[in-house]
Structure 1
Amino acid sequence: MTVVAAALVRADGRILLQQRAPGRAMAGLWEFPGGKVEPGERPEAALVRELGEELGIRVDAADLAPATFASADNDRRHMLLLLYVCRRWRGTPEALDATAIDWVSPDDMRALAMPPADIPLIPILKALLPLSAA
C-alpha cells in the first residue's frame, strides 16, 4: 500500500500535524496529513486530493517537493509512506477530517504520540529544513 503525506511548512518553520479522529485506526495520534494513493493515481495527484479533502486547501502538484520515505508494516499490509514538503498552498488549513490540527517544530514533534511510520521522518525533516528566524 502506498501512502502520501505532506509536511506543510509555514514561514516560521513550523509544520502542520493533524490528530486522528476517534473511531479510526491509531485514533488520537498526531500525523502528517495525507492518505492512500488510489489505483492508477500518481502520488502527487493523490496528495493534492487528500490535502483538499482533509484540510480544505488547494495545492499545486508543482509545489510538492519529494523529501523522504518510510517503510513500515501496517496491520497485515506493508506500507510505503512518501513524504513531500510543501511551502505554498491556497486557503487556510482546517481540521475537516481530524480532531485537531497544530503547527509544531520538528523538536516539538518528539513529545507527541505519532504513528510508527511518521517517527523516523522527524530527524530527516529537521535536517532538511533550515532553522527558523522566529
Structure 2
Amino acid sequence: MHVVVCGALVENGAVLLVHRSPTRRAYPDLWDLPGGHVEAGESELQALAREMHEELGVHILAESSSRLGDLHASSGEDAVHVGVWQIRDWVGSPTNRAPEEHDGIAWVGISELGGLLLVFGALPALFRSLPEPDRLPRRDEAPTTASPSGP
C-alpha cells in the first residue's frame, strides 16, 4: 500500500488547490490538494511539511495542522491511503514550485469545490464538515489569486 499525505491550506473560506498537469500518468488534468508520498522513516506530518515546501515553497506550522480525514483509492498492490490534513498557519506565499507536476494553483471557495473535476470526489464533503470558525480569515496577508477555470 502507498501512503500519501495532502495538505489543505485554508484561508478566508477558500482552500488552495493544484491542477495536475495533463501529462501526469496518474490523475491527469484534475484539481487536487498539494502533497505526495510518505517516504521511509517519515511521519505523515514530516512528509506533509516537506511536500508543502517542495511544491508550494511554504513552511507549515505543525501545531496548526490537524487531520481532516482519510481517503482511499485502488486496491491490492496499487492501493493508496491518503491522509488529508488541514493547515491553518504557514510562513511564505504559496507559489507553484513543481511546474512539472502542476500547471497551476488556485484559491477555491469551499462552496465551489463541487463544481470542479477533482482527484477525490469526497473532498467537498470533508470541507463542508469544518466548523464555521475555520472558514473565517486566519492570516494577515491577502491570499494568492488565480482562477480555477483553466489550468
8 Å contact kept, 1:106–1:123: no
Question: Hey, what does 1:124 align to over in structure 2?
Answer: 126
Question: Hey, what does 1:16 align to over in structure 2?
Answer: 16
Deviation for aligned residue 1:128? 1.3
Deviation for aligned residue 1:129? 4.0
Amino acid at match of 1:80: H
Amino acid at match of 1:28: D
| Range with bigger deviation, 103-112 or 30-39 | 103-112
Distance of 2:3 and 2:131 partners within structure 1: 24
Distance of 2:76 and 2:113 partners within structure 1: 24
Secondary structure, counterpart of 1:46 in structure 2: helix
Q: Closer, same or farther in 2 for the Cα pair 1:62/1:133, shift >3 Å?
A: closer
Residues 84-111 of structure 1: CA distance to partner in whole angstroms, max 9, x if unpaired?
1111001000112221111112221111
Question: Hey, what does 1:45 align to over in structure 2?
Answer: 46
Number of residues paired by the alignment? 131
Root-mean-square deviation (CA), in Å?
1.9
Amino acid at match of 2:78: R
Secondary structure, counterpart of 2:63 in structure 1: helix
**Percent of residue pairs bearing the same amino acid type:** 31
Deviation for aligned residue 1:75? 9.4
8 Å contact kept, 1:48–1:58: yes
Question: Hey, what does 1:2 align to over in structure 2?
Answer: 3
> Any unmatched runs of 5+ in structure 2?
138-151
Secondary structure, counterpart of 2:116 in structure 1: coil
Amino acid at match of 1:19: H
Amino acid at match of 1:110: G
Structure exhibiting the larger radius of gyration computed from Cα positions? 2
Mapping 1:1-134, distance limit 5 Å: 1-10=2-11, 12-24=12-24, 25-73=26-74, 77-97=78-98, 98-115=102-119, 118-130=120-132, 132=135
Distance of 1:114 and 1:19 partners within structure 2: 9
Structure 2-normalised TM-score? Answer: 0.79
Amino acid at match of 2:93: T
8 Å contact kept, 1:13–1:129: no
Q: Closer, same or farther in 2 for the Cα pair 1:74/1:107, shift >3 Å?
A: farther
Structure 1-normalised TM-score? Answer: 0.89
